[in-house]
DNA sequence: GAGCACTGGAGCAAA
DNA sequence: TCCAGTGCTC
């Protein structure tokens, strides 16, 4: 096989014809390591899929000898489809998956070699934290000081670095580190890992770490996969961690046919162990490797790219590159400053409705991004109030809901009786008289005998337990043995058996209300999904490894998601909201230069998702922890020079929060509580689509009622907004939203006015000083109108 | 042991 | 604002 085959004339060839020169040379790369530095929108996925098609069609590599790694299952599916269109249905059989799925699949086959059952459980973050909590408790440590959250994060970080418990203990000793916390974490880690092993369970990090261990300690297994995977391709290489890079190394062996694609400017997962130097130092790691650069963007208008380049330019030590496009011009990014999160949501919603009404977009062409999931709330309320269809990506997922986790716990225990976390979850669900004390006795018996809880329950007759607890355990044992008997029939049978026999479904049926109804429907949906699987293991694995974006649909809905979730997606219209220093960039990253750079890359990722129109919004005051906080405009907005931006911020007062002193000549004619121009779109649009979303509400489980109440509130608020605001009779020359001058603090903007006895309390945001609360009669504020 | 009301503490991104 | 943990009552 020549290392650089002569491709046919590209024009005749479906694999090569659609590519530009840069893409083509990458796709036609010969053997050995290759890095494709692919800027946002430069056709990364296209290069990967065509590379695979090229290997199959031109290099006659067997489709079964290729391993392709993507970042999400959704991306894997899309790639499979694209390859399918080039090479045919064989693409369905290929190994195209995420790191975690590929590892789970390999580990499933060789689990015994590591001392795990083939039907090992996969613990998600919640399960892992729960186990951490058990360990902290059992080691008699202070659960406040050693919160499951912090401890598990520390353990996860160690695992991502492939550090074993022994290694962690060593690291915690002087001269390395020696902090008491890390010493204790090492102890917890050691016990935690023992408990995982005893439970026959792996956490997310284990999938990678034990994958590496398997290949390292079992040369024959490693050799098998090396023979098999003649070519390995990796997407989003900038977000790989040490364990993943090791895996690639172990799987590729001497041939090192590793073809990786990524963009260091889009590295945004350091917090889960991703190491940007993997891509930056690719050349040093593989001195004989080839590098291809793709910098032509096919996605966004020049105006959007200008904004993106202006922001990312501020990161130091990045390889110089400038994304370009031949689509000149395009609409400038629109900036909007709102008063509050609600106001911001109102603006986003009204813009969405305007564009949709004008036929400029369909709902699915638009997306709203935010830094953290909690920010979706205000947007959702507004969209609900106006019957704009939307989907929230991430946040509380279907598989995180209590009833779903309970049901899956039954299934897990049925296939893996040792699974401690799942068993404890359901042993008393629904209640059958087994409380903390009984559970503690079981725990103790298990620890004494060095066995699992299930084995202890097997001989429950020999234990000293109260009648109710004993009876409950006998029932539970009977229930689980019946469920276990259904395992050969598949996951749907097990779920049905367990949920019926346990009385779980009966309990829900007996409970009235929207909440119980929702849960029943969710369980129904789960069993429906399970019916597509013959093997319980496969079903559980698939369910454990779905990512947030995997659940995204392409229905006619506006998509709401975090900036992290947005990676790899694109939309005609993108709103990036909450652009305030402290929100985005997140305050926790503001003191660490490296973390700030990662925030900036996150901004870059967000901006480059937009094809035609980008909106950048921020607010003056945002409710956080139950009180209003004032943040300066995000530096990421400031980094874009003003002439590149279309500033639509309305500096006139728009609506008064609660009170607005009307009078004074211009205060009066501006009107109290004048609805903003954009809120005039409000009011009556037929509330037809409500039912469409009620299914979103029923998924909420326990939050459903509160949620529905909030929605009701949102609807009525919209109705109320046109009503006049009360106007106390106090003379004022300024109102909310006005620019004012103060003798000491200088120029500022009035954020709020509240009656304070006979006087008024004025909240003013002064530039360079921040927010101040002043007493009106002493503050001597003057309107600053030019 | 179960279910409820209350309180205090925490608050980022996710396979 | 929200959630989990705690203490109280039946």
Q: What is the pLDDT of residues A58-99, one digit of tens each?
A: 999 999 999 999 999 999 999 999 999 999 999 999 999 999
A161 a catalytic residue = no
Return the higher-pLDDT residue of A489 and A758.
A489
**pLDDT at residue A432 in the model:** 85
User: Tokens for A637?
Assistant: 């907005």
CB of A364 closer than 8 Å to CB of A554: yes
Nearest nt (C1') to A441 (CA)? B1
Q: Which residue is nearest to nucleotide B11 (CA to C1')?
A: A625
CB of A310 closer than 8 Å to CB of A336: no
Nucleotides of B under 7 A from a protein CB: 1-3, 10-15
Helix count and strand count (H, E) for chain A: 32, 21
A700 a catalytic residue = no
Given pLDDT bands bounded at 50, 70 and 90, which one contains residue A726? very low
Task: Kindly state the helix (H) or strand (E) to which residue A713 belongs, with its residue range.
Answer: helix A704-720
SS (H, E, C) A461-472: HHCCCCHHHHHH
**pLDDT at residue A759 in the model:** 59
Supply the angle between the helices A204-217 and A148-160 in degrees, to the nearest 10: 30
This prediction has a pTM of 0.84
Distance CA A227, CA A220 (A): 10
Task: Say if residue A1 is exposed, middle or buried (CB neighbours under 10 Å; 0-12, 13-18, 19+).
Answer: exposed
SS3 content of chain A, % helix, strand, coil (to 5): 50, 15, 35
A598 a catalytic residue = no
Q: Nearest-CA neighbor of A381 among A711, A718, A712?
A: A711
Instruction: Give the total residue count for chain A.
Output: 786
Given pLDDT bands bounded at 50, 70 and 90, which one contains residue A259? very high
Whether A746 shows a pLDDT value over 80: the answer reads no
DSSP-derived secondary structure for A59-91: S---GGGEEEEESSHHHHHHHHHHHHHHH-GGG
Q: Which residue is nearest to nucleotide B3 (CA to C1')?
A: A431
Span A457-461, mean pLDDT?
Answer: 85
Span A164-177, mean pLDDT?
Answer: 81
A236 a catalytic residue = yes
User: What pairing do the DSSP bridges indicate for beta strands A770-775 and A759-766?
Assistant: antiparallel
**pLDDT at residue A214 in the model:** 97
Whether A658 shows a pLDDT value over 60: the answer reads no
Distance CA A28, CA A553 (A): 34
Q: Mapping DSSP to helix (H, G, I), strand (E, B) and coil, where does residue A528 land?
A: helix
Q: Mapping DSSP to helix (H, G, I), strand (E, B) and coil, where does residue A725 land?
A: coil
| Positive or negative: CA dihedral A425, A427, A431, A436 | negative
A77 Cβ contact partners less than 8 Å away, ≥ 6 residues apart: none
Q: pLDDT averaged over chain A?
A: 83
**pLDDT at residue A691 in the model:** 30
**pLDDT at residue A462 in the model:** 81
Whether A723 shows a pLDDT value over 60: the answer reads no
Contacts 24+ apart (CB under 8 A), A251-256: A251/A67, A251/A215, A251/A222, A251/A225, A251/A226, A252/A226, A253/A222, A253/A223, A253/A226, A254/A226, A255/A31, A255/A226, A255/A230, A256/A32, A256/A33, A256/A286
CB of A344 closer than 8 Å to CB of A617: yes
Return the higher-pLDDT residue of A433 and A264.
A264
Catalytic residue among A127, A205, A213, A236: A236
Supply the angle between the helices A44-57 and A73-87 in degrees, to the nearest 10: 40
Nearest nt (C1') to A148 (CA)? C4
Distance CA A762, CA A748 (A): 11
Q: Nearest-CA neighbor of A443 among A137, A122, A115, A141?
A: A137
Instruction: Spell A493-525 as b/e; 16+ CB within 10 A means b.
Output: bbbbbbbebbbbbeebeeeeeebbebbbebbee
User: Tokens for A584?
Assistant: 């985005």
Whether A626 shows a pLDDT value over 80: the answer reads no
| Nucleotide B1 C1' to residue A87 CA (A) | 63
| Nucleotide C2 C1' to residue A691 CA (A) | 27
Given pLDDT bands bounded at 50, 70 and 90, which one contains residue A318? confident
User: Tokens for A541?
Assistant: 């694995």
A486 Cβ contact partners less than 8 Å away, ≥ 6 residues apart: A414, A493, A494, A496, A497
First-to-last C-alpha distance (Å) of chain A: 77
Nucleotides of C under 7 A from a protein CB: 1-3, 5
| Nucleotide B7 C1' to residue A542 CA (A) | 40
Supply the angle between the helices A242-252 and A148-160 in degrees, to the nearest 10: 30
Given pLDDT bands bounded at 50, 70 and 90, which one contains residue A738? low
Distance CA A608, CA A222 (A): 39
Given pLDDT bands bounded at 50, 70 and 90, which one contains residue A667? very low
**pLDDT at residue A4 in the model:** 47
Q: Which residue is nearest to nucleotide C2 (CA to C1')?
A: A625
**Tens digit of each residue's pLDDT (9 = 90 or more) over A546-562:** 888 888 888 899 999 99
Span A347-374, mean pLDDT?
Answer: 94
Return the higher-pLDDT residue of A161 and A180.
A161
Given pLDDT bands bounded at 50, 70 and 90, which one contains residue A159? very high
Q: Which residue is nearest to nucleotide C3 (CA to C1')?
A: A703
A761 a catalytic residue = no
A44 a catalytic residue = yes
Whether A637 shows a pLDDT value over 60: the answer reads yes
Distance CA A454, CA A484 (A): 12
Query: How far from the centroid of its chain's Cα atoms is residue A149's Cα?
Result: 17
**pLDDT at residue A235 in the model:** 96
Return the higher-pLDDT residue of A353 and A710.
A353
**pLDDT at residue A630 in the model:** 85
H-state helical runs in A486-535 = 491-501, 504-510, 514-530
| Nucleotide C7 C1' to residue A143 CA (A) | 19
Catalytic residue among A46, A412, A609, A707: A609
- Residues lining strand B at under 7 Å (Cβ) are A 72, 98, 100-101, 124-125, 144, 149, 153, 156, 204-205, 271-272, 371-374, 394, 428, 431-438, 466, 468-469, 545, 547-549, 561-562, 564-565, 586, 588-589, 624-626
User: Tokens for A577?
Assistant: 């909201």
Query: How far from the centroid of its chain's Cα atoms is residue A73's Cα?
Result: 14
Whether A662 shows a pLDDT value over 50: the answer reads no
User: What count of other Cβ atoms lies within 10 Å of the Cβ of residue A389?
Assistant: 16
Distance CA A659, CA A677 (A): 20
Whether A354 shows a pLDDT value over 70: the answer reads yes
Whether A412 shows a pLDDT value over 70: the answer reads yes
**pLDDT at residue A2 in the model:** 40
Given pLDDT bands bounded at 50, 70 and 90, which one contains residue A509? confident
Distance CA A160, CA A211 (A): 12
pLDDT over 70, % of chain A: 82
pLDDT over 90, % of chain A: 55
Nearest nt (C1') to A143 (CA)? C5
Task: Kindly state the helix (H) or strand (E) to which residue A335 belongs, with its residue range.
Answer: strand A334-340
Q: Is A626's CB less than 7 Å from nucleic acid strand C?
A: yes
Whether A609 shows a pLDDT value over 90: the answer reads yes
Q: Nearest-CA neighbor of A571 among A780, A423, A362?
A: A362
Return the higher-pLDDT residue of A99 and A698.
A99
A386-390, A430-434, A750-754: least confident range: A750-754
Nearest nt (C1') to A703 (CA)? C2
**pLDDT at residue A37 in the model:** 95
Whether A732 shows a pLDDT value over 70: the answer reads no
A530-534, A590-594, A657-661, A741-745: least confident range: A657-661
Place of tokens 């613990």: A123
**pLDDT at residue A700 in the model:** 36
**pLDDT at residue A253 in the model:** 80
**Tens digit of each residue's pLDDT (9 = 90 or more) over A672-685:** 333 333 433 333 33
**pLDDT at residue A768 in the model:** 58
**Tens digit of each residue's pLDDT (9 = 90 or more) over A202-239:** 999 999 999 999 999 999 999 999 999 999 999 999 99
Peptide bond connecting A585 to the previous residue in cis, omega within 30 degrees of 0 = yes
Whether A347 shows a pLDDT value over 70: the answer reads yes
Nearest nt (C1') to A71 (CA)? B15
Instruction: Spell A624-647 as b/e; 16+ CB within 10 A means b.
Output: eeeebebbbbbbbbeebeeeebbe
A27 Cβ contact partners less than 8 Å away, ≥ 6 residues apart: A15, A16, A19, A47, A50, A51, A54
**pLDDT at residue A179 in the model:** 79
User: Tokens for A620?
Assistant: 């003056």
Place of tokens 């779905």: A546
Span A285-310, mean pLDDT?
Answer: 93
**pLDDT at residue A451 in the model:** 85
Task: Say if residue A72 is exposed, middle or buried (CB neighbours under 10 Å; 0-12, 13-18, 19+).
Answer: buried
Whether A360 shows a pLDDT value over 50: the answer reads yes
């Amino acid at each position: 096989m020549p290392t650089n085959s002569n491709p046919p004339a590209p024009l005749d060839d479906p694999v090569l014809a659609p590519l530009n020169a840069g893409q083509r040379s990458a796709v036609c790369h010969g053997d050995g390591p290759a890095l494709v530095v692919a800027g946002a929108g430069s056709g990364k996925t296209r290069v990967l899929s065509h590379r695979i098609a090229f290997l199959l069609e031109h290099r006659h590599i067997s489709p079964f000898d290729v391993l392709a790694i993507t970042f999400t299952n959704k991306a894997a599916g899309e790639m499979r489809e694209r390859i399918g269109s080039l090479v045919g249905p064989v693409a369905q059989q290929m190994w195209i998956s995420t790191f975690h799925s590929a590892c789970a699949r390999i580990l499933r086959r060789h689990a015994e070699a590591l001392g795990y059952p083939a039907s090992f459980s996969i613990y998600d973050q919640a399960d892992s934290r729960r186990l951490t909590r058990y360990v902290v408790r059992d080691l008699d440590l202070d659960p406040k000081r050693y919160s499951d959250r912090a401890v598990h994060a520390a353990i996860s970080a160690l695992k991502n670095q492939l550090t074993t418990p022994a290694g962690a203990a060593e690291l915690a000793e002087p001269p390395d580190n020696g902090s008491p916390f890390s010493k204790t974490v090492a102890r917890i880690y050691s016990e935690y890992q023992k408990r995982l092993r005893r439970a026959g369970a792996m956490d997310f990090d284990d999938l990678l770490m034990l994958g590496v261990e398997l290949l390292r300690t079992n040369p024959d297994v490693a050799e098998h996969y090396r023979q098999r995977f003649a070519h390995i391709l990796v997407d989003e290489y900038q977000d790989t961690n040490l364990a993943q890079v090791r895996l690639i190394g172990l799987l590729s062996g001497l041939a090192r046919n590793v073809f990786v694609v990524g963009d260091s400017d889009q590295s945004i997962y350091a917090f889960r162990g991703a190491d940007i130097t993997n891509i930056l130092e690719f050349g040093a790691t593989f001195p004989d490797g080839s590098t291809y650069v793709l910098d032509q963007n096919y996605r966004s208008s020049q105006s959007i790219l200008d904004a993106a380049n202006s922001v990312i330019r501020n990161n130091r030590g990045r390889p110089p590159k400038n994304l370009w496009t031949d689509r000149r011009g395009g609409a400038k990014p629109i900036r909007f400053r709102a008063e509050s999160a609600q106001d911001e949501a109102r603006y986003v919603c009204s813009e969405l409705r305007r564009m949709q009404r004008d036929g400029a977009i369909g709902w699915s062409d638009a997306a709203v991004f935010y830094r953290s999931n909690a920010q979706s709330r205000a947007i959702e309320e507004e969209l609900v109030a106006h019957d704009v269809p939307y989907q929230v990506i991430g946040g509380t997922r279907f598989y995180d809901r209590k009833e779903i986790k309970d049901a899956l716990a039954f299934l897990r225990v049925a296939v893996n009786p040792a699974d401690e976390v799942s068993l404890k979850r359901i042993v008393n669900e629904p209640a059958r008289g087994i409380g903390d004390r009984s559970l503690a006795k079981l725990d103790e018996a298990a620890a004494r005998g060095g066995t699992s809880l299930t084995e202890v329950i097997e001989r429950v007759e020999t234990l000293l337990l109260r009648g109710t607890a004993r009876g409950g355990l006998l029932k539970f044992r009977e229930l689980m043995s019946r469920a276990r008997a259904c395992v050969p029939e598949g996951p749907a049978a097990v779920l049905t058996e367990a949920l019926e026999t346990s009385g779980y479904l009966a309990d829900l049926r007996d409970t009235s209300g929207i909440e119980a109804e929702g849960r029943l429907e969710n369980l129904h949906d789960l069993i429906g999904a399970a019916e597509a699987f013959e093997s319980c293991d496969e079903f559980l694995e698939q369910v454990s490894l779905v990512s947030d974006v995997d659940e995204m649909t392409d229905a006619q809905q506006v998509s709401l998601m975090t900036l992290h979730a947005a990676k790899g997606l694109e939309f005609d219209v993108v709103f990036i909201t909450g652009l305030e220093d402290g929100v985005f960039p997140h305050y926790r990253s503001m003191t660490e230069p490296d973390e700030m750079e990662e925030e900036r890359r996150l901004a870059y990722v967000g901006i480059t998702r937009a094809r035609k129109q980008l909106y950048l919004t921020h607010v003056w005051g945002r409710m956080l922890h139950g009180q209003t906080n004032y943040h300066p405009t995000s530096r990421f907005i400031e980094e874009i020079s003003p002439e590149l931006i279309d500033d639509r911020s309305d500096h006139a007062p728009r609506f008064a929060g609660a009170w607005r002193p009307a009078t004074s000549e211009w205060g009066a004619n501006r009107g109290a509580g004048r609805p903003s121009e954009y809120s005039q779109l409000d009011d009556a649009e037929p509330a037809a689509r409500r039912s469409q979303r009620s299914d979103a509400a029923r998924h909420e489980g326990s939050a459903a009622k509160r949620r529905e109440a909030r929605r009701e509130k949102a609807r009525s608020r919209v109705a109320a907004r046109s009503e006049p605001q009360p106007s106390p009779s106090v003379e004022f020359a300024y109102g909310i939203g006005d620019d004012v001058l103060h003798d000491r603090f200088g120029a500022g903007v009035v954020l709020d006015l509240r009656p304070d006895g006979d006087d008024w309390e004025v909240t003013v945001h002064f530039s360079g000083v921040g927010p101040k609360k002043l007493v009106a009669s002493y503050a001597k504020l003057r309107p600053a109108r030019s």
